[in-house]
Structure 1
Amino acid sequence: MNREFDRSNVRHFPLDERYSKIDIMESFVREGQFEDELTPDMAERLEKIADEIVHARERNAAVICAFGAHTIKNGMGKILGAFLRHGWFTHLATNGAGVIHDWEFAYHGKSSEDVRENVQVGKFGTWEETGLYINLALAVGAYEGLGYGASVGSLISRNGLDIPGEDELQSVISSPREELWRRAAAADLLDLLGELDIAAGFLAVAHPCAEYSVQAAAFDIGVPFTSHPMFGHDIIYTHRANKGAAVGRTAERDFLAYARSVSELEGGVYLSVGSAVMSPMIFEKSLSMARNVNAKKGRDIRNCGIHVIDLQPETWDWSMGEPPADNPAYYLRFMKTFNRMGCPVDYTSADNRVYLTGLYRALNKRSRHEG
């Protein structure tokens, strides 16, 4: 007996009918903002981290910034892109929601719906363009060998998708010379294109606000931007265009790309910004994998500064080790995870806009002095 929910019965609505709480053209963060909100203590911390980043890049070590979706909702896309253009960050990682907000800003100029109101009437997450274009980008990206982040970044950067024809896809499916993953991805894409009645050729999808997209910036620069979704967490899963295999293939590529960057963290820097679940969970597995492989080569990853930023108050000095179980800080799960990794770690309670713009200024000051 089939006990699955029939998603084809869900009605989706035009994105421009949705009330969105954030207009990116009004809320995007500029380089000079929030300087007055930087405390002396935080400024001192950021100066030290800026030095770490400069030294890491001098030795060609990784500098990874993993962040939650609120970093994008807070209008930080342009600043993150500037970090990439300067070469200060070598890898960006976020969750599925971060990808969605970034795409909606690029396509629609607005994002962040009223969940409380829309879920009452069964409209939460039921937005046609968001579900259609992101899922289609993932299916095409899976076929092209792209990761999750690059699939959506390519869509934004190129203002559309190259849709292969039926003959090409059938040829790939039937060819014993093609790798199995590509044959399977071709079959999934052929099935999806038939369901959606989408013709071959270039499918134009305009993104008038692409300048605010960090995914597009990363794609254009060629810096890894990886997404680490959890199935069912994001609104694209409500849409008939969603294909689990495409999500899985692209997300797997992104996890392995992320793990590759983690393997290059000796002498590097890891920033975890407002990500209580995704960042610590993927980091601990990737670090263990990297150490497993590096042990065969007589190498390790210990000299890596881990800097965690979130809004919870600072109640424990993590340089002292793990707090006792009767201390509330013991239950700050993400800090407990990072503290167990065997690398220097600290925690800062801060608004991500204040923190990242302050770090940008500290690094920019060093660049000007070097110039």
Structure 2
Amino acid sequence: MAKFLSGLPDILAVKTLRCLAKSIVQARRKGRPVIFGLGAHPTKVGLNPIIVDLMRQDIVTALAVNGAVVIHDFELALMGHTSEEVEAEIDSGRFGMAEETGRMINEAITEGVEDGFGIGGAVGQYIFRRRKQFPNWKTSLLATGIQQNIPVTVHVAIGTDIIHMHPAADGKALGEGSLRDFRQLTAVVSQMEGGVYLNIGSAVLLPEVFLKTVTLSRNLGQSLTNITTANMDFLSHYRPLTNVVKRPTQKGGQGLSLTGHHEIMLPLLAAAIIEELRR
């Protein structure tokens, strides 16, 4: 991979890819956090093993995800496949009505929040403690977070996820768990001076959450003047470019943007990081 990467033309997006990889490696060598903010698409297209590998190598030190990531991560760990054909099910009212997904995840959230977890920790420990029932748990982001003691925070908007349609959904647990996760993510971001935040595939929710964690951290006295932020998606959207790339770095640091399909770009970035670590 080193030979392949060195052979890429040193221009435009290749320069950005190299800059991002170097920034991540520099951050970890200095003990600074590297946070991945994930929408559901990277998990749906099969990238969990690559992200888990970066977690196990102590490269990614925190994850922030939306509610859809939890569903796909859970189903992949349990069954080895996920998603459904919305067009085929929406007219009949069957879309999103899988009993096991709704019942088990809501059960995990309710029980875990009662035990003091946020949503990420609640579902992660549910999978990890019952890993004999989850044949693919080793590629679960949530379970890996528990095993590796890496924060995985979940940020939900009520009504956006299929599990909210299930009778077992508990608004109090969802709200309290998500608020705990927001505060935990803010604690991580507050230590991000010299670190990196990478938004991957979230067009609205996580860019909004990240911006609030930055302003709250600065309000509490953390300047965050030397940070690297980046957006990676296959379309260019307003909020990631504004709330991740531009606004948080206008005080200092650098904002980067990489446009391309996750199933191509993220493995390339992971390879570039690993090769950079070997230098």
**2:130 equivalent to 1:159:** yes
1:340 is matched with 247
Task: State whether structure 2 residue 268 is matched by structure 1 residue 358.
Answer: yes
Question: Does the CA-based 8 Å contact 2:39-2:66 persist in structure 1?
Answer: yes
Shift of 1:278: 1.5
Residue 266 of structure 1, CA deviation? 0.9
Within a 5 Å distance, the mapping from 1:226-305 to structure 2 comes to 226-294=153-221, 299-305=222-228
1:94 and 2:17 are equivalent in the alignment: no
Aligned-residue offset at 1:367? 3.2
Q: CA deviation at 1:42?
A: 3.6
Q: Counterpart of 1:67?
A: 38
1:76 equivalenced with 2:3 (yes/no): no
Give the Cα–Cα distance (whole angstroms) in 1 for the partners of residues 208 and 19 of structure 2.
26
AA partner of residue 357 (structure 1): P
1:223 matched to which residue of 2?
Answer: 150
The CA distance in 1 between the partners of 2:8 and 2:48, in whole Å, is 23
Q: 1:309 aligns with which of 232, 253, 277?
A: 232
How far apart in 2 are the matches of 1:312 and 1:127? 30
- CA deviation after TM superposition for structure 1 residue 337, in Å: 2.5
Post-superposition offset of 1:125:
0.8
Contact 1:125 1:236 in 2 (8 A): yes
One-letter amino acid matched to 1:133: M
Deviation at 1:219, TM superposition (A): 1.2
The one-letter code of the counterpart of 1:340 is R
Quote the sequence identity (%): 34
Asked if 2 retains the 8 angstrom alpha-carbon contact of 1:311 and 1:350, the reply is: yes
2:206 maps to a residue whose letter is S
Deviation string, structure 1 residues 10-37 (Cα, Å, up to 9, x no partner): xxxxxxxxxxxxxxxxxxxxxx8xx89x
CA contact (8 A) 1:43 1:358 kept: no
Give the SS at the match of 1:306.
strand
Which of 67, 71, 74 is the aligned partner of 1:103?
Answer: 74
- Structure ID, larger Rg: 1
- Structure 2 segments unaligned to the other structure (5+ residues): none
Q: Quick one: distance in 2 between partners of 1:218 and 1:43?
A: 31
SS for the counterpart of 1:94 is strand
Task: Describe the superposition over 1:228-282 as per-residue Cα deviations: whole angstroms up to 9, x where unpaired.
Answer: 0110100101111111111112111111111111111111111011111122100
CA contact (8 A) 2:17 2:258 kept: no
> For this pair of structures, how many residues does the alignment match?
270
Q: What is the alpha-carbon distance in structure 1 between the residues aligned to residue 54 and residue 239 of structure 2?
A: 28
Aligned equivalent of 1:148, options 119, 139, 151: 119
Task: Select between 128-137 and 278-287 the one with higher mean Cα deviation.
Answer: 278-287
